[in-house]
Amino acid sequence: MEARMGGKILAVSDLIRLPKQYGTMLLLMPTLWSLFAAGNGSPPVRLVIIFIAGSFLMRSAGCAINDIADRDIDRFVERTKERPLASGRLKTKEAMIIFGILIILSLLLVMMLNPLTILLSPFAILLAVIYPYTKRYIHTPQAILGIAFGWGAIMAWTAVRNSVGLPPFVILAANIFWATSYDTIYAVMDREDDMRVGVKSTAILFGSYTWIALAVLFLLFILTLMILGLILRLGALFFSSLIIAAIPLIRQVIAIREGIGREKAFSLFKAHARIGAIILAGIILDTNLGYRR
């Protein structure tokens, strides 16, 4: 009995990717960019805690619904065949219960925010549910992921300012370019398996031109954040952070042009959590210490 319970706990941990929090970091980064920008570098600590916890819960819920949607596909993909639903360690009903609990906990957090932010929250849930199914119908599901991961930026801004402004939508646009790029790198790991089972992705769409597409997406990402800096009247510290963040992006384009395997693709993907943190540091330092024009 204890062994069975331990197995279920481990399966739930794997379902929500508990040991692998880089996904949470990627969801959290645009949210914190917006939160600290809206709060002029010092948002209320209460909001920081709420959005960090909310990002963890929503990313976990997203992983659960993703595995539910892909349970009949994952077993045929080398990287995902041991996931809890694909391997039979969890039942679909059990995963649905976990998903429901995570969504309820997320909503309880949202109820601590202002009415405008509460009004925006259903879109976050809708995007989380829709995204896993888009890979069956469109060749750019990574862009939908960018919207889903960027929606927190809109909510973070309204939580601080109690109004909707241009900056969070610029962050959302930047995140679409960013998420499409890093998730394309992630999709490179499964390109052959995805083609075999009929799943669509930008890695398949771009094919041998993936490195060119990533170069364009990275450029648009940095340029959009530069526009954000101009709108917010940020200074040298922020723009320096963009230069620092651009260096590993250039290296990634070169690496992908030369050709990479699964392990290298995964390593490049995980590096984006650090890239997001560099940009966050730039926003925090500039809004607190930077020269105001």
CA torsion sign for 110, 111, 117, 121 is positive
Query: How many domains would you assign to the chain?
Result: 1
Mean pLDDT of 160-186: 97
Q: Give me the sign of the Cα torsion angle 60, 61, 64, 69.
A: negative
Q: What are the b/e assignments for 183-209, b being 16+ CB within 10 Å?
A: bbbbbbbbbebbeeeebbbbbbbbeee
| Over residues 37-62, mean pLDDT | 96
Task: Find the mean pLDDT for residues 186-212.
Answer: 90
**How far is Cα 256 from Cα 12, in angstroms, rounded to an integer?**
34
pLDDT of amino acid 293 = 47
pLDDT at 82 over 50: yes
Residue 291's pLDDT is: 58
Tens-place pLDDT, residues 243-291: 999 999 999 999 999 998 889 999 999 999 999 999 999 999 999 986 5
Which CATH number belongs to the domain containing residue 224 in this structure?
1.10.357.140
Q: What is the pTM of this model?
A: 0.94
* Mean of pLDDT values over 215-244: 97
Q: Are 253 and 185 in contact (CB under 8 A)?
A: no
Residue-wise pLDDT tens digits, 140-172: 999 999 999 999 999 999 999 999 999 999 999
Q: Quick check: 1 pLDDT over 80?
A: no
Would you say 253 and 211 are in contact if contact means Cβ atoms under 8 Å apart?
yes
Residue 17: domain span? 2-289
Q: What is the DSSP code (8-state) at residue 209?
A: G
Q: What angle do CA 47, 175, 280 make, to 5 degrees?
A: 50
Contact 109, 53 (CB under 8 A): yes
